[in-house]
Structure 1
Amino acid sequence: MEPRSTLTIVCYKDSVTQLHIIGDVGAPRLPENFSIDSFATTLVRLPSLTVLRLVSLGLWGSLPTKLTRLSSLEILNLTSNFFHGTIPPEISSLTYLQTLILDGNNFTGGLPNGLVSLSALAVLSVKYNSLYGSLSVSLGSLENLRILALSNNKFSGEVPDLSSLANLQILDLGDNALGPRFPALPLLSLPSIAYVNIADNNFTGMLFENLPCSPSLDFVNLTSNLFTGKLPSCLLPGSKHRVVLYAGNCLATGDKNQHPFLFCKNEASAVGNLPQHEKHKRVFTIALALSLTGGIIGAIILVGIALLVARRAVQTPPTRFVEENASSSYASKFLRDARYITRATKLGALGLPAYRSFSLEELKEATNNFDTSTFIGKGSHDHMYRGQLKDGSFIAIRCLKIKRNHSTQHFMSHVELLSKLRHHHLVSALGHCFGYYLDDSSVSRVFLVFEYPPNGTLRSWISEKHIRQKLTWAQRVAAATGVAKGVQFLQTGIVPRVKHPDKFDIYDFGVILLEIISGKPINSRNEVEVLKNQLLASVIADDASRNSVVDPVINSSCSNKSLKTMMDICCRCLHKDPLDRPSIEDVLWHLQFARQVQDGSPISPI
């Protein structure tokens, strides 16, 4: 047969030596009755395979160890599937392996130590997984390695000595938690190096002007670390036709995109070396509020929806009254002109203590001095921790990085508004704490303290593997309704209102609905578009076609009318033109209708 873009089979004499099967980008997971073990049993009947590419096919399950019976394999590429669990150590028995690509799966654990035995390995790429732990020093002994791509995982600790890798051309370590020390090796001057990406890690240390660069170096990304000192002269603009990115450090470059020196010093001390097995990638969390130095008001949504929204669907909170005027010590025209029109806000009936100022010492004590075990998330401008106060209550702390020369008063009107946002479908702020630059006493960090109900995230109750009993359809509709009511409150429930483009909130809410329906965590805009198109096609097709889109856990328990209502409003929320997206009131009506046709409950007033 002639080779095609989706299928190529190569034979030599009487044996199949190459098998390439390429599916569509974003292909859904294969049905529950698929058996990866049976599939592997079939593959190992081709013992002469040297190349095996199975890309975007929806394969799922643990990577079968029996694939190592294909002892002649030189290239193994399993990109963009749904493999989970650890990478089996038996893979080190493939002694002829030159290329191993496992990008875009759900692998966890660390890299197998036995990889050092793969002396022929030239390409090792495991990007976009959930791998964690430290990198083995044995990586430095893979002398034939040309590409080492470990980005977008949860690796932490020191980078091993790679100075012996004379053939290394691409080093991609971005978006992990590696560090804190800058690798003590000639990272930029390896003889063959062309591409270095160590962005979004925790590297500290001083760079020097005389740091050498390889003539072959074309791309360097040092963004969002804690480097100080000076940019090496070989990376300065005009030094060569190379791309150099270095924003978000504390380098003495004179650029506005650098933090002050003390910022990196303070952050290195407060944050420490973050454990990536705790790292939480917050892509497509709802961004509802005004953008102020990383989004102070937005913290209530970041914590409330990204971390804790499931509490309202799974647990009824206790009810007791608290003092309404929780921030009376800060009087401002902003608050005097504000009126809060929901009963929940007026009464504060959420069982919470009064909003107050925290000392940095209190927060350090609650988190054991911001110990790595309390770290729960990282963004471009913030870190999240969990802690426990002396009274036994659990809290979530968001530490925001602040630009220099902003006075305390600059933030107070926004902090005061945050203190008054009390609603059953929003996690409430309990207090704040300011950190200061030592040289001019301007604000360096804002610590925002929130309640921390222990029930976990909405996403975890829908898509995480360790959850034995996932949310039912009725619970998912209830959770979506709760989130929508929180959005509605922020849009219409306070005056003056939290300013944001309303229809952009609706799009982000549509992403949440998409996860609720599909049962899949969504981590990129491309995944949204793929799933949305599948959803659109299934809305107008027969019921059987929905099986490939709808989470199998709920597919048999939800009524067709309820499901179709949710699918329809989800697609409308994700419309490319914001003007064609529904209002939050329209969304709420459809959610309540979906609930009514599911269990017969009457539609309540919005």
Structure 2
Amino acid sequence: MGYLCMLLLVVLFIPSTNALQTSQTQVLLQLRKQLEFPSSLQILESYDGDFCSLSSSAHMSISCQDSSVTQLKIMGDKPVKVSEFSGFAIRNKTLSESFSIDSFVTTLTRLPSLRVLSLVSLGIWGPLPDKIHRLSSLELLDLSSNFMYGSIPPAISRLVKLHTLILDGNYFNESVPAWLDSFSNLSILSLKSNGLKGQIPFSVCKIKTLTNLALSHNELSGKLPDFNTLTGLHVLDLRENHLDSELPVMPEVLVTALLSKNLFSGKIPEQFGNLGQLQHLDLSFNHLSGTPPAALFSLPNISYLNLGSNMLSGSLPNELSCSGKLGFVDLSSNKFIGGLPSCLSSNSDQVVVKFGENCLSIDSQHQHQGSYCEEAIKRGKQSKGRNIAVVVAVIVGACLVMVLLVVGALLLCREFRSRRTHEQHTLPKMVKENIPAGVSSELLANARLISQASKLGTQGAPVCRLFAFEELKEATNGFDSSRFLGEGSMGKLYRGRLENGTSVAIRALSLVKKCSNQNLKVRLDLLSKLHHPHLVGLLGHCLDGSGQDDSSGNEVFLVYEYVPNGNYRTHLSDSFPEKVLKWSDRLQILIGVAKAVHFLHTGVIPGCFNNQLKTNNILLDEHQIAKLSDYGVFIVTGEIEKFQVKGEGSKPCQQTNVQDDVYNFGFILLESLVGPIATGKGEAFLLNEMASFGSQDGRRRIVDPVVLTTCSQESLSIVISITNKCLSPEPSSRPSFEDVLWNLQYAAQVQATSDADQKSDSTS
């Protein structure tokens, strides 16, 4: 009897599982309401079951343990602000003025078991409240691409389990917190694309677990701390700031260092030549001087080395040794003299080298006279001397100014006191709420960014030049058959090497109808303005016979950058098993191409369509970065009457064909999923096989085994879903390219989390 009584007491005092599930459900519904019913959470409206049993979708992911929510991921449809890859700005919106970020975070804290919280592109605005620390179980926090501003709250440091903190693409505009060393488990810290100011605090270098540090696209300045203490740091991204110190010693395990577009000065440390794991080093657009360490070029893993646009000088030794993995070197726009070492010479097919705008004894057409480099170095030394004198003068002047300021402050103090009470009653509400400098009330009210499309191609874009036909003949050895790369609907393609050593791809186009050179040049000028990191760069063009009668322009040669790593289709084929890409790599390639096509549709006015979207028109560079080729060629080859010079109102691209690009991109997605089975098969075959995606057995039969063994099921389902939509027979049912891009990015995020979890499990 005693045993039965005890058992009854235990049963009576077990917490109600159903009650707990109801509580969690109410919290999720409240969050949906506070986020103003985003489409991402639409399923919650009609679903009457346990939210923990919901299947993850392309819009949200909810995971539970012991009837508590442990993972909540929501990606909204509020467009983000300008990114480093987009090339254009789009209209942005926040949640309404009635939104309260304080109330929103309070609601979130009612999910105390949350380990993963990702709220991206939801239009959340306001200063992030301190109470975020109440989510004490958090291991990953991603609030990127929203509109939070002010300072990063110190209370976040109390999230001791946090291993990933991502706050990219917001408007935080104070300094980088000095308390970051409070994190004992943090491995990824990403604060890119904000307005952070001041120096990088030394406390960052006390986070011994840090592997990735990304602070690019901010307003940071001053001296770099000693990153050498971060013995596990693999990725360092500090691009586009105002950092102005000499370069410090770097961790020995560093793999990627992106330090371009700052104000770094002095010599490149010799220690950089000992970074045996380094693969990617970008020091371009700084004020570095001296001769770079020769060992940089022979690092065992170095593949990308960009030293362009500095004040580097001296001569590189002819016996310089180059790493077998080195694929790209940029020495351009410096003060180098002498010859180019043999391993970097134009005779090498293994490495792409840019060396123009120096004083080298080769390629005189693209080099300065030796006196130019000598004079520039001399001016730099004189400027340094003048700077010292200026500093002394500034110090003396500052002392005098301080005296005057003290006197002025005493005089103003009395008047300020008399006005203070009156101002407290007249300041508008928005000023009282401590809106930081640099964030206008208009931005918070409307949250929109002005389009930058008019500036397209003006920053960092190569100059498109007019080539003489003789130059192209020489570059291709008279269009020799050994330089022939192939022929398609867009004409014949040849590989060439220009006089300065640059490898190029030359497309020979034969126009169906004759057209005046004037009209051709108008269209080529438009094509030359299409610049994007995921488009094959157009370097120039040649109008064969341009010196003859003005109506004889019947053949056009387009000169593109040479992309050395083949096309995407070959990396999906079983003909080259060593090149076949795993799922996460395919996703990155697809995202890159989707960004490029989205740019062609919306980043230029008018939008450009009919972009020859096929897997063999996606090229991969030496870093596996995707670049779309044969885009916009319709501008040149289309019907002549559609391209007559008619002023600003003309529309050289048919905007009605946007859904054709979506449909064709759907086939690229399909080939990415099925891999070798697509080789040599027609459109009808692939469309028929799509029915197999509906079951697990069907997927195992048709999906590429490489994909099946390297993907998470959730990530795979997201891509299958968007593929089906792209290939819808009804154009009106197909998604926009913005939707396609969003889904691919979400799939990549899901896959990255799955990979990280597997790595963590295997380590454990």
Greater Rg over alpha carbons, structure: 2
* TM-score normalised by the chain length of structure 2: 0.37
TM-score with structure 1 setting the length: 0.46
